[in-house]
Chain A
Amino acid sequence: MTDDRTQHRIAVENLTLAYGTTRVLDALTLPIERGKVTVLAGPNGCGKSTLLRAIRRLLRGSAGQVLLDDVDIDRMSGKDLALQIGLLAQSPSAPGDMSVEELVRLGRYPHQTMMQPWSPRDAEAVERAMAGTGVTGLRTRPISSLSGGQLQRVWIALVLAQETDVICLDEPVNHLDIAHQLECLDLVKRLNREHGRTIVLVLHDLNLAARYADQLVFVREGRIAARGTPAELMSAKLIEDVFGVHATIITDPVHGSPVCIPASRKAMSSGVDEKVAEAV
């Protein structure tokens, strides 16, 4: 990390993106810091997954740009981009009879060339990725035989094998129990701390977001509602504005990170009460 490079690994600038006539991202601007964990949070349909895909150029905006080290990603080749940014989809899928190792090996695809389809370097990267995620012992297992937690680690291993400096994960802890959620996010944190990788995460759980984020970003209606450290963002007022819930913020006595305790949904609260009353 030389000093002359900008502090921002990725800069999203005035990005507008629409599905048909529905505008999902609306002139969105977001700098993402090098070597930090950035967590995107926001209500369903706010555009955070779209933003993640736009950063990886799986979707292209109608206006604005995404810069990777000050280079417009539209000007980069698909292969270059795949060597620099890895992305784990929200619900990835692969044939059930595929073995764990075979799946992880696919992460080496951008590194392969016609002349050199598979090199010792590729094999080493696959071994490192499997070791790092603790799935080495599962290598010959078909992925259909894995538990949810194991499977998620295998998918993360695929992204690790890609050896990209930027890693985007779209709701990586969905469908995982609490132990596996923590295990998965601890792994991500370690990648960031030990290897200086730039991580962009979409997380639904605000408390997990606050605990693992260096930079927390609230997305609402295709725009950035707020960004800053978890301590700055986890305020009752902001959470009410962005998510529409009344909440109390306390400090986690163990980790010192802010914890949000939701009370009731703002707009619906009275209606819900009435319904409950009727039902009773």
Chain B
Amino acid sequence: MTAIAARPARPGVARAPLVLTAMVVLFAVLGLSGVAFGSTWIPLEDVARVILGFGDKTQNLIVLQLRLPRVVAAILSGGAIAVAGYLLQKVTRNELASPGVLGVVDGAALGVVIFLAALSDESNALVTSIAYQPLAAAIGGLTAIALVFALSGRQASSAVRLLLFGIAVAAVAKALTMIMMLVGPIYRTTQAARWIAGAVNEVNWSEIQITFLALVPLLVITLLVARRLPPADLDEVSAQSVGLNLPVVRLFIFVLAAVLTAVGVAFVGGVGFIGLMAPHLARMLMGRGVHLGIVGSFVIGAMMLLAADLLVRVAFAPVEVPAGTVTAILGAPYFLYLLMRKQSYDG
């Protein structure tokens, strides 16, 4: 019987170490390129020198204050949004679910715009600490997802209803954000617009610190509750009869995903579609295991935002185009592809 117990249970697990290794290598290459590429090329050995503390003054400035923060911000944000997407897809049993589709991103955007507008003084300075911006994003995101649930009511278990209400709530949040930007102080508009498109280039170390401190406990919680996720793949009755407390788990996961998204977008902005694509790719590459799925989603999400940022830096230089535009341009067709595949599935 021990022989049976020792046998690897899932076919996907066998190749997972290989895939994971490949991903980590690619991740490192992307990260280093993210530091090296830009308006001035910094050779990799100089990057290493700066990181080890032996760089010259200009290189120190470029690497530590300009390049590295955006690389780290891309990793943290891309990863957080991707994990949120993974959780939402799991708990709604729908691969079309994502923080963007369920209104969380636009809700968070509205929260941030209201925060910026309400708490700025005439001289364009915030009257409170920027550390509260993730909080504003979280409140906005949670309000949006709570609304989606309240509107879906008893049909909240139907993924299609959830998605429809999510899209509706997202549209309303987007419209309100627009109004806030148009009637708000003019000097805030550009800032808000950049935020909404999702840009990693203006993130500074103190903001990264806040993101990091919020993200670590959230990811630990995510890995701890991952054990609850496999039965959520079943229909409601079956999930509950194997002992999953579905209403509680579902609510918890939704809140967790909303907060993860909020932390992810708080400083970087509404990066589109990573929450949809990354979990999907993670499942395809790493199989159905939940812990691997979460780690894989994080790494792939991080890579996607890194790559997007790298692309806008190289392709559009010297203009700084928000990285979120790239993810949206790639993500929207992907969403359509999933949607069409889903339809042919059902029909």
Contacts and interface: CB of A to CB of B under 8 A. Distances in A.
A120 B2 contact: yes
A56 B241 contact: yes
B93 interface: yes
B242 A58 contact: no
A78 B228 CA distance: 14
Given A78-B245, A87-B241, A109-B231, A101 B9 contact: yes
Interface in A56-90: 56, 58, 78-79, 81-83, 85-90
Nearest to B227: A117
B1 interface: yes
Interface string B3-18: 0110001110000000
Contacts of A107: 242
A124 B238 contact: no
A81 B244 CA distance: 11
A111 B234 CA distance: 17
A158 B2 CA distance: 21
B242 A92 contact: no
B235 interface: yes
Contacts of A109: 230-231, 242-244
A99 B235 CA distance: 16
B6 to A, nearest CB: 9
B241 A99 contact: no
Given A106-B230, A124-B5, A79 B243 contact: yes
A206 B284 CA distance: 46
A155 B227 CA distance: 21
Interface string B301-342: 000000000000000000000000000000000000000000
A152 to B, nearest CB: 13
A102 B11 CA distance: 10
A254 interface: no
Contacts of A229: none
A83 B224 CA distance: 22
A127 B1 CA distance: 9
B288 interface: yes
Contact of B5 (A85, A92, A123): A123
Interface string A120-143: 100110010000000000001000
Residue of B1, B11, B235, B238 most packed against chain A (CB within 10 A)? B238
Given A82-B243, A92-B237, A95-B233, A124 B288 contact: no
Given A81-B243, A107-B242, A114-B227, A87 B4 contact: no
Contacts of A58: 237, 240-241
A249 interface: no
A85 B11 CA distance: 31
A153 interface: no
Contacts of B224: 114
A99 B227 CA distance: 18
A265 interface: no
Contacts of A83: 243
Interface string B177-205: 00000000000000000000000000000
Given A78-B243, A109-B231, A124-B1, A102 B288 contact: yes
A112 interface: yes
A93 B243 contact: no
B226 to A, nearest CB: 10
A98 B233 contact: yes
Contacts of B231: 106, 109
A244 interface: no
Given A98-B288, A106-B234, A127 B4 contact: yes
A53 interface: yes
Contacts of B4: 123-124, 127
Contacts of A89: 235, 237-238, 241
A52 to B, nearest CB: 10
Contacts of A78: 243, 245
Nearest to A81: B243
A124 B243 CA distance: 20
Nearest to B283: A97
Nearest to B235: A93
A105 interface: yes
Between B5, B224, B243, the greatest number of chain A beta carbons within 10 A of the residue's beta carbon is seen for B243
Interface string B232-270: 011101101111110000000000000000000000000
Contact of B243 (A95, A98, A110, A120): A110
A142 to B, nearest CB: 10
B296 to A, nearest CB: 16
Given A58-B241, A78-B243, A99-B10, 4 more contacts: A87-B241, A94-B235, A124-B1, A155-B238
8 contacts: A78-B243, A89-B235, A89-B237, A94-B235, A112-B227, A123-B5, A124-B5, A162-B242
Closest 8 CB pairs of A and B: A82-B243, A110-B243, A89-B237, A87-B241, A123-B5, A120-B5, A93-B235, A109-B242
